Every structure is written in C-alpha cells, then in structure tokens.
Amino acid sequence: MQELLCRLVAECRDECSSGGVASYIPELAKADPRMLGVSVLTTERTFFQGGDASFPFTMQSISKLISLALAIEELGEDHVFERVGMDPTADPFNSIMRLEMVRPHRPQNPLINAGALVILSLLPYRDGKTRIAAVLSWAGRLLGNNAIAVHEPTYVSEKNTSDRNRSLAFFLRSVGSLKGDVEDLLDTYFRQCSMLVTTKELAFLGMVLALDGIDPFSGERLLRRSTARVLRALMATCGLYDGSGEFAVRVGIPAKSGVGGGIVAAVPGRMGIGVFGPALDGKGNSVGGMAVLEHLSARGNLRVL
Ligand code: DON
C-alpha cells in the first residue's frame, strides 16, 4: 500500500499544473501548487502515506462536516434540516443567487457556505468564544488529534477578505434564515475554516465516517450511526459542490473538499482517505487530490456509488 501511494503521488503530481491555488484568500495563495500528499487508514488500524502527507494545511470547507456533525448530534436531524436543505446545487459554493430567488430562503444544503453559516447559527452556545471552543473540541475527537488549532494568519487573511461570506450572512439574516450576532458568527466560521490539519487527520475522520461513527482505534462511538450516514450521503451528493456529479462518476466514494487543497473520503466499512494538493480546479476542488482518489479507487476497487 505504502508503495502504491508513493507511486500514485508521483504519477499524479504533473496533473497539479492544470490547476491554481486559491487566490481570493491571500494566505492560501502562498501555497506551493506542486505539493501533493495522501494518507490512508485501513481496518488494520494502520496509516499508509505518500508524498506531502504530513504537510499542514487549513481545513476550509471540510470543517463544515465537523460543525454539521455537532449540530445533528446536539439538535437532531429534524431540527437541522428544517433550516437547511439536503439537495445538491449546480452553483458555486459561495453563490448568493438562489438564496434570493427561491423561497423559502433556505440554503440548499449544509456544505455550501450559506448552509454552513446557518448550521453555526443553530449551535446552542452563547457567543463565538464558546462556539469555536465546542467546534475545536469536536474536531479533536473526529480528527483523532486533540491539539487541533486555528492557523491565525489564514484566519486573519480570510476575515480581511470576507465580502462574499459577509454578504451571505447579512442576506440570510435579512430574510430571517439566520439569527444572532452576524459578526460573531462569521468569526466562528473563519476560525473553523482555518483549523490546521494534515492528510493523516483527514484519513482518521474518513475512517470514523466509514465505520458509521466509531473511533477506529478505541472502538468508542463518536457519532450516532445515523449522523455518520447523513454526513456520507451529503458528501456523496454535495461534497464537491458543482463538481459532485463528475466526482461520483469518476471516483464513486463519498468525499468532501476544501479550498486549502484537502479532500476527505470515506469508503464504508473499509477505509478513510485524506489527500492534499493546493492546486484547485475552477470549482475549488484539488486537481491532484482528485486524480489520486480516482486512481486509488480504481486500483483498490473502492467504488461504492
Ligand atoms: O468561505 C470560504 O470561501 C472558504 N473559507 C471555504 C470555501 C471552501 O473551502 C470551498 N471548498 N472547496
């Protein structure tokens, strides 16, 4: 496996040149577009790694899975899905268009930016400080690393260039879809997106979801079975935004991407995978990461969709 992963990274690295690093968040623009790494966690509880597997990067949209899991566990599925939909969208992850055009003005799913903002607003904490503390503590459990921290330069960079997310949040509040202190909420959102991980933590998260919510090492139940299944279903249909359909056809595994270049994938009952490659396609998904997943899926017969 180790050998296969090293070979896959070497084979796929050239694909990175067809993408570009996220430039709308200046701190992300500093990344090296040729980086590519992968970690795999199997049922033998062994991590296998290839390439830049241990290079730290920010979770970005992958963090939406953490706060969504927290919201479903604390509030229940029914409550959460009264406020956000569960359907894929053909629009970009930060699009504002449908929010105004379609009634009720409810984000189409919890993995687009508008949906993630509503999810954070539902969490039962009194202010941003306690909200991000809860998200970080859950991130620690679901990522198998209790030392998860916010990368301050990315957080500041994102906060300083946040016009689009601010527009989404203020619009949502104006139509009654989001309540509370918008500034405080945005602050939590930027911090959760800036949580620093490596592909190893993503492989752990993938395996927790693959095992229907069980910690792969301790055997402890971290999430209800139903919560893990909801997350996998949303990953399969909405995890790569308007690229989700093509990814399902090419790779066939539930996954979630982030503009930091990470992708987490969960092969039910079998495997958790984390990939990292900061060169993105036009939809915000890692080109090298998707290539590694496509080859790994084909060679390991991992397709479930
Ligand atoms: O809010 C944003 O635009 C970023 N912090 C996260 C977007 C993202 O990761 C979309 N993923 N592919």
What's the pLDDT at 126?
A: 84
pTM for this one?
Answer: 0.97
Q: Tell me the average confidence (pLDDT) per consecutive run of 10 residues in the chain, 305 residues long.
A: 96 94 95 97 97 98 98 98 95 91 92 97 92 97 97 97 96 93 96 98 98 98 98 98 96 98 98 98 97 97 97
> Catalytic site residues?
61, 64, 189, 241, 259
Tell me the best of 65, 67, 94, 188 to mutate to test the pocket of ligand 1, counting ligand atoms within 8 Å of each CB and taking the most: 94
CA 252 / ligand 1 centre spacing (Å) = 22
Q: Please name which of 231, 222, 74, 90 lies closest in space to residue 143, comparing C-alpha atoms.
A: 222
SS3 245: helix
Q: CB of 110 within 8 A of CB of 234?
A: yes
User: In angstroms, what CA-CA distances link 110 with 70, 170, 295, 302?
Assistant: 12, 17, 29, 26
CA 60 / ligand 1 centre spacing (Å) = 5
SS3 11: helix
SS3 264: strand
